[in-house]
Amino acid sequence: MEVLLNQLYAFPPEAKQPFPTNNTIDDLNALWEKAAAQGLPYNRAFTLHRHCYPSEVLALKLYLQIQPTADQALECLVANTDILSKLLTVSLGRTANRFIRLQVTIDDRACLLHRQAILGYLCDLLKQLGPASAGLIADASLPLGKMSLLEAERETGFNLQPSNQISFRLHAEQLLATQKHAHAALATHLAPALKRFKSQQRQPDLEQEVRQKILQLLPETGANLDQVAEQLQISPRHLRRKLTDVGSSYEQLFEQTRKSQAHYLMGETTLSLTEIAYELGFNDPSSLTRACKRWFGSSPSHYREKLQA
């Protein structure tokens, strides 16, 4: 694995800082591909896809998998949840009969895509921790939404109970056993990158902040300029001027965000088209139909068939 890292980054063995300071998403995606080729699998869980992973989240996932034990991996997860999401809280607690409970809380401000991405990431990660594949988890409690229990169990590989709370019951004896993918040398290489991600996390740029607020507000209020500006604690006029300064506009960002979310919801969820219309802030399904013909050149039903073919 060290050879793969050296080939990927071409740094000399004697370098004091083995991980480059200018690492990019492409760099870490390439690292993930190399690691996967050595037996660290990428598995889909719920509706999470590779494009949902920013580089720091990929690095965190790999770093947890190669810790000596699952106990150490979970301690790292609890300590680094802000890398995964600032709207996520994870805690560990003991239960009866030699089990450990991993409790997960996702802030209500997280949009649907954000919540599903976090949930998918955690399910995927926990399935791969421990000395054997999927052996760490005894069972889990998850909000299944529109997904059936059998479908969710098939996707996650866990025994599930429907619940409004997210929690995982872990086999305590598995926590201290050596992990299947433990790799001390690779963990040493990744540790500086995680520290840098945590200490130098950039604030999202204005356009990204506006997109996030639009996604949060769409299902509730429709996300007009005044509402988004209020969320950002600036005046609508000031927000419009700041967007103009970076060569953008609120209307452009709103249309792009809505279109992207429509593509995601139709292709990757089981929500009905009526539900999708309201999730996107439309007053009725006919408005979604007109928008889809403008965005994709076809009706919502035909576009969904194409995406899911």
Q: What is the DSSP string of 147-201?
A: S-HHHHHHHH-S-EEE-SSEEEEEEHHHHSSBPTT--HHHHHHHHHHHHHHHHSP
**pLDDT tens per residue across span 98-133:** 889 999 998 877 777 677 778 888 888 888 899 986
Look at residue 45 in the predicted model and tell me its pLDDT.
Answer: 43
Look at residue 10 in the predicted model and tell me its pLDDT.
Answer: 35
Q: Count of CB atoms within 10 A of residue 196's CB?
A: 15
Task: Tell me the HSE value of 191 on the side-chain side, using a 13 A CA sphere.
Answer: 11
Residues contacting 295, CB < 8 A, separation 6+: 259, 262
Look at residue 2 in the predicted model and tell me its pLDDT.
Answer: 38
What is the rounded CA–CA span in Å between residue 276 and residue 222?
A: 13
What is the rounded CA–CA span in Å between residue 222 and residue 265?
A: 17
For the chain, the structural domain boundaries read: 2-199, 207-308
DSSP state, residue 146: T
- What strands lie across the sheet with 137-142, from one edge to the other? 88-95, 99-106, 166-171, 137-142, 160-162
Contact yes or no for 219/275 (Cβ under 8 A): no
Tell me the CATH number for domain 207-308: 1.10.10.60
**pLDDT tens per residue across span 52-79:** 456 777 788 889 999 999 999 999 999 8
Give me the residues of the chain with pLDDT under 70, please. Answer: 1-54, 96, 113, 133-134, 199-204
DSSP state, residue 90: E
CA angle 130/44/46 to nearest 5° reads: 105
Tokens matching residue 102: 């991993």
Tokens matching residue 190: 């990744």
Contact yes or no for 159/138 (Cβ under 8 A): yes
Look at residue 202 in the predicted model and tell me its pLDDT.
Answer: 53
What is the rounded CA–CA span in Å between residue 64 and residue 75?
A: 9
Look at residue 7 in the predicted model and tell me its pLDDT.
Answer: 36
Contact yes or no for 240/225 (Cβ under 8 A): yes
Residue 119, amino acid: L
Look at residue 36 in the predicted model and tell me its pLDDT.
Answer: 52
Contact yes or no for 212/226 (Cβ under 8 A): no
